[in-house]
Amino acid sequence: MLKLTPRQREVLEYVATAQQERGVAPTLREIAAHFGFRSMNAAAAHIRALRRKGLIKVEPHRARSLRLVQPGWVRKPLAHIPLYGSIPAGFAEDRVQEARGCLSVDMDTLGLDLRPNPRLFALEVRGDSMIGRHILEGDIVILEHGRTPRPGDVVAALIDNESTLKTFVLVRGKPCLRAENPKYPDLIPAAELVIQGVMIALIRKVK
């Protein structure tokens, strides 16, 4: 297996990320500016080292000509998802969500064909009303705000000003929330139902 210095790996990942996000490779000047090198010579030295190791090739007489030879060497960018407190998977509860930090996750590892975006957020589950969907107390659910829910989707919702995690269903054409545990009733909004996010992934902590 080829060995890379930490800086060589960082340069390789920067080239890959620039190609993914902008569709073009960075120039030596941009690499130098990104890493704070005093001159482009340092950037060029790292590129030469990566070329010798067969990870990058340079097409002569072309601007922005850096190309990855083995894209599998590069880690995919992580998504940094804010974690907003907990959400009850039981009876709806009136509570204020508090920011607790963020999760850094690899979208590919979660099997998500989705680019990181600011609509993603995470909540910790409390309660047992969703055990029929294998969602347990202490699990972290990742949700996307602004996604239109379909019947059967698990959603974080505000129902009559109380928050809960339930399955979105239609009953006689009207939206309501269903628990996945028979000891909890369906929740039918008396006035308002606001879908705050649709669940796209679940993370279970090892206890």
**Start-end ranges of CATH 1.10.10.10 in the chain?**
6-69
Contact 121, 139 (CB under 8 A): no
Tens-digit pLDDT profile for residues 114-159: 666 788 899 999 999 999 999 999 999 999 999 999 999 999 999 9
Residue 166 has a pLDDT of 96
The residues that are catalytic are: 129, 166
pLDDT above 90 (res 101): no
Residue 78 has a pLDDT of 67
CATH 2.10.109.10 fits 78-203, yes or no: yes
Single pTM value for the model: 0.63
CATH number of 6-69: 1.10.10.10
What is the number of alpha carbons within 13 Å of residue 70 lying toward its C-beta? Answer: 10
pLDDT above 60 (res 90): no
Mean pLDDT of 172-179: 94
pLDDT above 90 (res 100): no
Residue 62 has a pLDDT of 67
Residue 195 has a pLDDT of 95
Q: How far is CA 72 from CA 39, 44, 47, in A?
A: 29, 22, 18
Residue 143 has a pLDDT of 93
Higher pLDDT, 12 or 64: 12
* pLDDT above 70 coverage of the chain, percent: 83
Decide: residue 152, CB within 10 A, 0-12 exposed, 13-18 middle, 19+ buried. exposed
Tens-digit pLDDT profile for residues 157-171: 999 888 999 999 999
**Start-end ranges of CATH 2.10.109.10 in the chain?**
78-203
Closest CA to 161 of 191, 187, 183: 191
Residue 193 has a pLDDT of 93
Q: Which amino acid is at 17?
A: T
Tell me the C-alpha distance between 83 and 103, whole Å: 7
